[in-house]
Chain A
Amino acid sequence: MQNRKIRVLIAKPGLDGHDRGIKAVTRGLRDAGMEVIYLGLRLTPEQIAEAAIQEDVDVVGLSCLSGAHLSLFPKTVSLVREKGGRDILFIGGGIIPKKDIPKLREAGIAQIFDPGTPLEEIVKFIKANLPEGVIDKED
């Protein structure tokens, strides 16, 4: 049983450079006591998956505002699963049309946070949906 801070990897797959939201989320999660690794932008799903496994994270947060989410998010999830990150919780955000959300859910993204989501809501969601065995260590 782990007794440590929640570890989150934050990354932007693809070529999209809009990083205002993801940077605010990074800071918000950190202020909520999580350990957040900001991997940055212009990354391939392979690079993100590699980092998720190496950093042994509990949560991966993906952002995309360019419209490439349907090809990039599912690919990242499946690569992480392949590499053995079975329990990692995936969340996402960006400009995501509502009708794409069921497809992303099916692909393993537990929740999509729309523009305008309060940071607190993301924190609550993560804490309520942590992979089994991860205990949120309050400090």
Chain B
Amino acid sequence: MPEKKNEITERKKEFRTTVDGMVVNRVYTPADLEECKQEGISVPGEYPYTRHIMPTGYRSKLWTMRQYAGFATVEETNKRYKYLYEQGQTGFSVAFHLPAQEGYDSDHPLSAGEVGKCGVAIDSLQDMERLWDGIPLAEVSTSMTINSTAPILLALYIAAAEKQGTSADKLRGTVQNDILKEYIARNTYIFGPTPSMRLVTDICSYCAQYMPLWNSISISGYHMREAGATAAQEAGFTLANGIAYVQAMIDRGMDVDSFAPRFSFFFAAYTNLLEEAAKFRALRRMWAKIMKERFGAKNPRSMMLRYHVQTDGFTLTEQQPLNNIVRVTLQALAAVLGSCQSLHTNSFDEALALPSEEAVQVALRTQQIIAYESGVTDTVDPLGGSYYIECLTNQIEDKAMRYINEIDKMGGALKAIEKGYIQREIATSAYNYQRAVDSGEQVVVGVNKFTVKEEQAPKVLEIGEEVEKRQTERLKRLKQERDNQKVSEVLDRVRNVAKSDENVMPALIEAVKAYATVGEISSALRDVFGEYREPNIF
């Protein structure tokens, strides 16, 4: 009889990166690399860019430290921007309040209670001009999280820059302009998929022609992840959406290399450090292959996945909020080890309210400590070659590709969304996660383990009712003072252009310059395009 091995028991039957995530082996060896092919360990800066899009990585240029911010009226937000800039932030990222994101003015009944809450209140060019007061748009790069109303807000930014004497071709930044994930997760859609895709491609074409330094879209996995997607789902669903946008541009008759270099991406970073780092490596390789093999791109820049990362808001706990600083640090480190181009670190108090100035400073300092003290930026892709990392990179690629193939079979991302497939997959992952937390199988420190009696809540930022009052009064004054005959003319023109095949951007720029408001222009577009209602996935 063979001698019974003295087996050491492990803490769990099975180890996974997250609930529904990847199965993790006890140990990885050279045999695992054999098994999952060697192609991952390529040279940084060379196709398929698994390790970094640049051969020099962060040795030549650090990522852009870009904190998403916006609250109350433009005056408060302008002050916060200047503060962040003084603290060493290297790019701006605008959070617009929900009314602007969903095409309503601050005085609309649906805006009641929402003005200046989730972002800065912007109704007109007057607001946009004041938002950038004292900040030269020729010298900064700005990211704008805006989707269904992206053409209007981009028009406002262009017009505000022009007032500062800066033409559109000099502007650097990004407009999110990713409507597909709005139907899946983020929910700030207005119009149905067909007119929305037309607006997305209008922006991309306009930027390709007139704004060579501007990222015309930021294809986002972040919100799907926040809604519950696993790392592999985030990767697969985001790239499936990316494929849909590239195809839509090609269908408009555009050459792939004329617009793809300005396509950018946006992902989440969770706390599982190594899975997240591997995810970014897998994503870079997948996009390069998709662009080269599927779309026949020739320009290497079309194949390079450039992306912004935000640490994951969902993982922040209301309980023992200071613990969030540690979570954000791990997540930010994952983003950097994954070779991101731009990063936002969340503030530790965001499960409680909008971030306070103190919390924002700690968040920015976290990036700066990683950049200047940790040493991880000294060599390119320091994790490359690790048996586990390379294996995990391949596994995530395989799993994400299976999702893309599934979506292809349904006829593409738009069809998969219409069927509710992506939404259901994500909702199931989210539910399984919640169940695992409730049962204690998934430990969340301070929530279902190592809990304490909570002390007094930390000081949080509040937006008072006077903000809404101030903003609506400002809007009322604007509507009295502007040339309303002109406004009605430009709005008619917006309607006519929307009905035609013409690119909407020039008409929108003209409209915002006449001080037509976000709500008025959105209404004009609603007249033509109608409104979308979410299908019930239950």
Contacts and interface: CB of A to CB of B under 8 A. Distances in A.
Interface of A: 14-20, 23-24, 26-28, 30, 36, 38, 40-42, 44, 66-72, 95, 97-99, 114-116, 118-120
Describe A's contact surface by its main secondary structure: mixed
Contacts of B182: 17
25 contacts: A15-B104, A15-B111, A15-B114, A15-B188, A16-B114, A17-B182, A23-B431, A24-B427, A24-B430, A26-B538, A28-B431, A28-B434, A38-B536, A42-B110, A67-B114, A67-B118, A67-B354, A68-B114, A69-B113, A95-B353, A98-B457, A115-B351, A116-B448, A118-B437, A118-B448
A111 B339 CA distance: 44
B112 A115 contact: no
A57 to B, nearest CB: 16
Contacts of B227: 19-20
A15 B110 contact: yes
Of B113, B117, B354, B457, chain A has the most CB atoms within 10 Å of the CB of B113
B524 interface: no
Nearest to B117: A67
Contacts of A30: 538
Contact of A116 (B109, B228, B317): B317
Contacts of A41: 187, 534
Contact of B110 (A20, A40, A44, A69): A44
Interface string B411-431: 000000000000000010011
A16 B186 CA distance: 9
Mostly, the B contact residues are loop
Given A20-B430, A40-B536, A120-B438, A66 B187 contact: no
Nearest to B112: A71
Given A17-B187, A18-B226, A20-B314, 18 more contacts: A14-B98, A14-B113, A15-B98, A15-B110, A36-B538, A42-B110, A44-B109, A67-B113, A67-B114, A68-B112, A68-B117, A70-B113, A71-B112, A97-B353, A97-B457, A97-B460, A115-B351, A119-B438
A118 B439 CA distance: 9
A110 B192 CA distance: 37
B378 interface: no
A102 to B, nearest CB: 13
